[in-house]
Every structure is written in structure tokens, then in C-alpha cells.
Amino acid sequence: MSSNEILSELTNQEYRHGFVTDVESEVFRPGLDEEIVAAISAKKKEPQWLLDWRLKAYRHWLGMTEPKWAKVSYPPIDYQAIRYYAAPKSTKDGPQSLADVDPELLRTYEKLGVPLEERAILAGVAVDAVFDSVSVATTFRESLAKVGVIFCSFSEAVHQHPDLVKKYLGSVVPYTDNFFATLNSAVFSDGSFCFVPKGVRCPMELSTYFRINQADTGQFERTLIVAEEGASVSYLEGCTAPKRDTNQLHAAVVELVALDDAKIKYSTVQNWYPGDKDGKGGIYNFVTKRGKCAGKRSKISWTQVETGSSITWKYPSCILLGDDSVGEFYSVALANNYQQADTGTKMIHIGKNTRSTIVSKGISAGHGQNTYRGGVSIAKSAIGARNYSQCDSLLLGDKCGAHTFPYLDVKTSTAQIEHEASTSKIGEDQLFYCRQRGLTNEDAVSLIVNGFARRVIRELPMEFAVEATKLLGVSLEGSVG
Amino acid sequence: MNVTTTILEIRGLKARIAEDGTEILKGVDLTVNAGEVHAIMGPNGSGKSTLAHVLSGREGYEVTDGTVLYKGKDLLSMPPEMRAREGVFLSFQYPVEIPGVANTYFLRMALNAVRKHRGLPEVDAMDFLSLVEEKAALVEMEDALLSRNVNEGFSGGEKKRNEIFQMAVLDPTLAILDETDSGLDIDALRVVASGVNSLRSPERAMLLITHYQRLLNYITPDVIHVLSGGRIVRSGDKSLALLLEEKGYGWLEEEAAVGAGTAS
């Protein structure tokens, strides 16, 4: 049988109901096939429609090839060597409260600086913590429920709010979207679900900490946030992974839907393991994030601080469908040592008088390569659309690189577009000025870099801004002098 | 009886530009005591700014001979930030912009670095605020300049005022003012000079580096030195500055050339 025949057989075959899975352990065998997809679905006791959706995605994926247009290079990924599911041991019944959570697990979170209890109580943050693939603790759910906000793990949402999930899953990022998003659609294990009903302002910041723990485990979480008419929500996402010598794949999908007058603010501080000084190990972060401003006057705002991962491939985007809707993208991306970041956004203007703002700050150090890739497309229907883009690059040393690829596609003469770009190096004179005032070289670099990134950092909620500021300093340690 | 404390003692200092080996300082001798204000004058290219850079530890220069003692310690072996923490302050000829970093935030970091080195606790926000208000008044710094980014979009005069303001907050033992008068109109010069005068103290030594005599109309130094061809060729009191104003630097350079010729 030729490979084409195998492919076509695989992609055309119907799901064989009732096959028995021998995958009972908490960690699945490496490899990807329909059995694994079905096993993930079975593990989660998913309804038939979702399994069918996964399988459609999987079959579609078989016919796809990895995108090669990004300015990143890495050895071929063996998708059959990856384990697609891992769960902490004690998930049988699911913890009902923090007290039920394995204390060992909680200690790990504390090391990461996410003391669930304190964070939850003091900061009023509801944390839906994802440890590997299963959501282990959800707090403040009750008080959220009082105002009608649903905030739970994706798996739970599938069982408790199937109509909502069915309605919105894949509505912004369809299962055919791109190689990594399609892979995610087939094998996603968990993630967060948030629904804010009509007219409700979510009373607290929602937060999820993701963490990859199991070795050789890909993490494929899926997040869906829906804000109905007049609703608003701010969502924070932090990511950390322990050190490993091998590369790990992370292919997440985030979908946001904002109806009339709704506002969604989505903030990320991404600090996945970036690999060591020689570029060994680290996370491959191939993420699809997209928001749809479906309603009039709706607004979606992305803020990201990307300091980790050995490769970042990520373009949080906005589809501005509703008239007068607003899309924003604020980004700081740092590439040190041998890190490669290819990140940016797409602003797709369809509705009238839609507006978008892009502020991208790229920092390159060591042998790091930092690429901004942004697309602004303005459809004929988007009368009076406006875009402002600002892309700045900061270089530390002379072995790193900064690249900017802004794409523009404008189909109406009524649009207004502004683009500003700059590239600068941290100057000897700046460093000396700081040192002459008593700061060490490293403090000086950290100070200058944070100044450079400030326009973006100040878009973050307070406690994230503090963390991001520290991260920028830590990530650049040893990069100068 | 007054005990004289020597702050700075430079002996036979020779320095060249690291990149091309051009010798700039050709044997500088200078002693500055606590409480004294010395002016270093000289024509362009005489080595005035190089002296300021070598004393503050800027990269790009090689010291080939001589010693510099600061409060009895070997200054040249300290990295720039250590010199700063030990109390050496350089008011820059061209103050540097640091985009996105608030002026007061920067200064608080600097002050805490200095205080930590001296074994003092970090200054808290309230104390810092009152310190800043007090010192800002010395150089008539507007509040707006305090919260703006370090030197970003400042006029020439505002940048120089900011330098003197930082000096007031950091309270150095040795202040080196490199061409502080350059680029200032007469009003700004007056404000900056009165700021400097108010910072004169029995514990502090100051080195004013200037091309023009006009700064010395506002700040009266204890000693004036003329630097020419990488050496101090003449030292004297305020009358020397007036002589220079009248006759220029030419005659001193000729004298120095003759002197050097005789010596060789």
C-alpha cells in the first residue's frame, strides 16, 4: 500500500465504535493514532459529538504539513514519540476543594509562586490551575456562579454546559485552521472554559496557571472564553515548565468570542523553559490564539510577555467583525541565548469603523532571534477602519537578530493606517550612565529593558506587571558584560 | 587647628584612548581636599573630559602610568558602580536618555544602591518623596520633570538641572562636573550654579571642568588649573580665570611648549 493510499484510507475511514482501548494507565503510550484520540476522549467520558469532532480533526491533520514560513529552525519533530496524555494520579473523583488537592502538588505551585490559597483569598483571583492535562483545583467558583459566570475546566464544561461548548468550540479557530491547531483539536486534554452572560462584569480577574510537568509530554490545552452582550472579563494566563534536556511540544488553542458591547482582556506571561545557554532543551511553543469581535462595539485586547520557550510561534489575532469593534495587541517578546521567537498578530477588519492597535517590543540578546510578524487586513466592507502599529526592537550584543515583517492588505480607500518601527541597541553610554549612579551592569540592563517594554507592561494587571518586570531581568541575566 | 582631609590625589596620571592608542593625559598631578572646589580649564582637546572619564571609570581608556587615590583608596581598580557607591559623582556633559524609566524611579534605585553600600537601610517611599521635594527645590526642578522618563525629551538646561538634582540626592563626596555650563542660557546657568553653590560643604570636594570662564562668575573656585596638552600647566586663584578670559589659552600653550622643549 502506498503512503497515499494509507493516508486516504485513514482519513476516510469512519470511527470504529466500541473498540477497546488498552490504554488504562495515567500516562498514555507515545504515539498518535485514532486509538489514542479515542482513548483521550474516553478518559474524559466525552459525548459522541466531541469524539467525532476530534477524529475529524485528526484525519484532517494527517493530510497537513507543518508550516515552514516562520523564521525559526528546529530539527524535525517526531509526532509519534510524543505522549498525548498525562494526568496526575488522584483524579478519579476530582478534588472538591483545595483541601482535597495533593499537598505535594500544592507545594509545586508554591515554588512557582502561585500560592493558590493566598492568591485566591488576598488577591481575589479565581485560579483554575492546570497541572499537565487535568484541572486540579478551581477556586471561587461559587461566588462567580452567583453572578452567572461559568469558570471551570474545559472537560467539566463539556459535561455541564455541552450546548455552550458545542456552539462556540471551533467557531473562531476551526479544526481545519492550521497544522498545530488541528493537532490540538484532535488531542486537547484540558484547558479552561469561561462564560460571562449578558450584562455581567466578571467581579474578579480570572487566572489559570499552566505547567508542563511530565517528561516528553506534549501539552495541548484548549481555552474558550465567551462574553455575551455587554459582558466583560479579564483573564490572566501564566506558564512555567521545569527544566528538561529534551524539547517538549506545546500546542495550545485559545478562542475568544465577544458579542455586542462585550470586552475581553487576555493577558499572558509565558515563561516556559527556554533551554540552556547552548540551546539544549526547551519548549516548542506553537500556539494559536484568536478572538472574534462578533458584536458591535465589542473589544478584545491581547497582552503578552513572552520570555520563555526555545521556540515561540504565536500570533494572537482579532477578527473585527462587528461595527465599531476594537482589537488590541500589546507584546513583549524576549529571545536570549539560542531562543527563537516569531510572534505578532493579525488584525482582520471587516466591520465599519473598526479600530486596532498593535504595540510590539522585541528584545534580542545572546544568539536570540526575534521576529515580529504582523498582518493588518482591511476588507472592502470595513469603511473608516483604522490601525496603528508600533514595532520596536532592542538589541543586546552583536550576535542576536531582530526582524520585522509587517503585512498590509487594504481594500478600502477610507482606511487610515499608521506604522512606526525602530531598532536600537542598548548603548554603552546608557549602561555607563546607570553604573555611574551606582547600579550594577545587570541592574542597568534590566532597568533599560523594562523601560523599553513599559508601554506593554503597564497594560498588564498589577500583580502580573510585577512578575513580568522580574522575569525580564532574570531572563537576561548574564547576557551583557 | 583644622585637619585637612585629602579626597583626591592624582599622581603622574597618563592615559590613552584604548582603540587607537592616542595618548591624551600625559602626566597629571592634582590634589583636592575636602571642602575645596577646583576648576579645571583648558582649550578643546586638552584632556579635560578624558580626565573626568578616567576618574569615573568609563570604558575606552587605558591608564598607562600614575596613580589615583580617593580617600586613600586605589580608585582606578574599582568598577564604575563601586566608585559611585563610594561617593564619586559625575555630572555628565551629555546626560543620557533612558526611555520608559521614570526619573524618580531611577534615582531611587541609585540612592538605594549607594545606601546599601554604606550599610544604610533602603529609603522608604515617604522619606524618598520628601527628600526629592527638598532637593528639587534647589535647582528649581518642576514636578513634571520628576515623573517624566530619565532625560527623555528634556531641554539642554533641564538635563543639566537634572544632573545637579541627582547629585543633591546622592550626596557625593567627590563631585565631578563635566562642562556643566555648556548649552545653558544665562538663566539656566544661574539656577544650576546656585544649586552647585548650595551643595558646597566642608565634607565635599568638587571638580568643575569647563572651557569657559563664565561659569566661574557664579561659582568661585578655590583653585583654578589649566590643562593643556594633557598636563596641568598652570594653577592659581580666580585671577587666573580672568587672565584667561582676556588672553585666551594660546600664550599658556606656547609657554608649555617652550617648557617642554627646555626639559627635553
ipTM of the complex model: 0.94
**Residue A477 cell numbers, joined:** 541575566
> What gap in Å lies between CA A292 and CA A294, rounded to an integer?
5
Q: What is the pLDDT of residue A88?
A: 53
Banded pLDDT at A15 (limits 50, 70, 90): very low
In this model, does residue A200 exceed pLDDT 80?
A: yes
**Chain B residues touching residue A437 (CB < 8 angstroms):** 84, 106-107, 109-110, 113, 166, 170
Q: Structural domain boundaries of chain B?
A: 6-263
Q: Give the nearest partner residue to A448 out of B56, B59, B98, using CB atoms.
A: B98
Chain B contact for A381 (CB, 8 A cutoff): no
Q: What is the pLDDT of residue B246?
A: 82
**Chain B residues touching residue A432 (CB < 8 angstroms):** 58-59, 80, 96
Q: Determine the distance in angstroms separating the CA of A251 from the nearest CA of chain B, rounded to an integer.
A: 34
A122 or A89: which leads in pLDDT: A89
Sort strands A401-410 and A369-378 into parallel, antiparallel or unpaired. Answer: parallel
The one-character DSSP state at B215 is G
Residue A430 half-sphere exposure toward CB, CA atoms < 13 A: 25
> What gap in Å lies between CA B221 and CA B235, rounded to an integer?
12
> What gap in Å lies between CA B131 and CA B16, rounded to an integer?
40
Domain B6-263 coded CATH 3.40.50.300: yes
Across the interface, whether the CB atoms of B106 and A452 are under 8 A apart is answered no
Chain B contact for A438 (CB, 8 A cutoff): yes
Q: Give the nearest partner residue to A438 out of B58, B84, B96, using CB atoms.
A: B84
- Residues with Cβ within 8 Å of A107's Cβ and at least 6 positions away in sequence, in order, are none
Inter-residue contact B132 to B104 (CB < 8 Å)? yes
Q: Determine the distance in angstroms separating the CA of B96 from the nearest CA of chain A, rounded to an integer.
A: 6
Chain B contact for A23 (CB, 8 A cutoff): no
Q: What is the pLDDT of residue B172?
A: 96
- Residues of chain A above pLDDT 70, percent: 78
Chain A residue closest to B79 (CA)?
A: A435
Across the interface, whether the CB atoms of B85 and A450 are under 8 A apart is answered no
* Average pLDDT value for chain A: 81
In this model, does residue A220 exceed pLDDT 70?
A: yes
Q: Determine the distance in angstroms separating the CA of A332 from the nearest CA of chain B, rounded to an integer.
A: 14
| Cross-strand partners of A372 | A343, A404
> What gap in Å lies between CA A112 and CA A102, rounded to an integer?
16
Chain A residue closest to B117 (CA)?
A: A438
Number of H helices, E strands in chain A: 12, 21
Size of interface A-B (CB pairs under 8 A): 76
Inter-residue contact A207 to A175 (CB < 8 Å)? no
Banded pLDDT at A311 (limits 50, 70, 90): confident
Residue B152 backbone zone (phi > 0: left; psi -120 to 50: alpha; other: beta) = beta
- Residues with Cβ within 8 Å of B17's Cβ and at least 6 positions away in sequence, in order, are B24, B60, B61, B62
Residues B1-17: pLDDT tens digits?
456 899 999 999 999 99
Q: Give the nearest partner residue to B59 out of A428, A434, A438, using CB atoms.
A: A428
Q: Determine the distance in angstroms separating the CA of B222 from the nearest CA of chain A, rounded to an integer.
A: 26
Q: What is the pLDDT of residue A104?
A: 58
Average pLDDT over residues A107-113: 55
Chain B contact for A455 (CB, 8 A cutoff): yes
- Residues of chain A above pLDDT 90, percent: 42
Instruction: Please give the distance of CA B14 from its chain centroid, rounded to a whole number.
Output: 19
Across the interface, whether the CB atoms of A452 and B99 are under 8 A apart is answered yes
Average pLDDT over residues A205-234: 78
| Residue with grid cell 522585541, as numbered in its chain | A362
Q: What is the pLDDT of residue A98?
A: 59
| Residue with grid cell 515583517, as numbered in its chain | A405
What's the first-to-final CA gap in chain B, in angstroms? Answer: 43
Amino acid sitting at position B147: S
> What gap in Å lies between CA A288 and CA A179, rounded to an integer?
10
Q: Structural domain boundaries of chain A?
A: 3-471
Average pLDDT over residues A348-369: 93
**Chain A residues touching residue B178 (CB < 8 angstroms):** none
Per-residue pLDDT of chain B (264 residues; tens, 9 = 90+): 456 899 999 999 999 999 999 999 999 999 999 999 999 998 888 999 999 999 999 999 999 999 999 999 999 999 999 999 999 999 999 999 999 999 999 999 999 999 999 999 999 888 999 999 999 988 888 888 888 999 998 988 899 999 999 999 999 999 999 998 888 888 888 888 998 999 999 999 999 999 888 888 899 999 999 999 999 999 998 888 888 888 888 777 777 666 554 433
- Residues with Cβ within 8 Å of A53's Cβ and at least 6 positions away in sequence, in order, are A169, A170, A175, A185
Q: Determine the distance in angstroms separating the CA of B179 from the nearest CA of chain A, rounded to an integer.
A: 16
> What gap in Å lies between CA B134 and CA A103, rounded to an integer?
52
> What gap in Å lies between CA A51 and CA A58, rounded to an integer?
10
Residue B30 half-sphere exposure toward CB, CA atoms < 13 A: 35
Tell me the whole-structure pTM to 2 decimals: 0.79
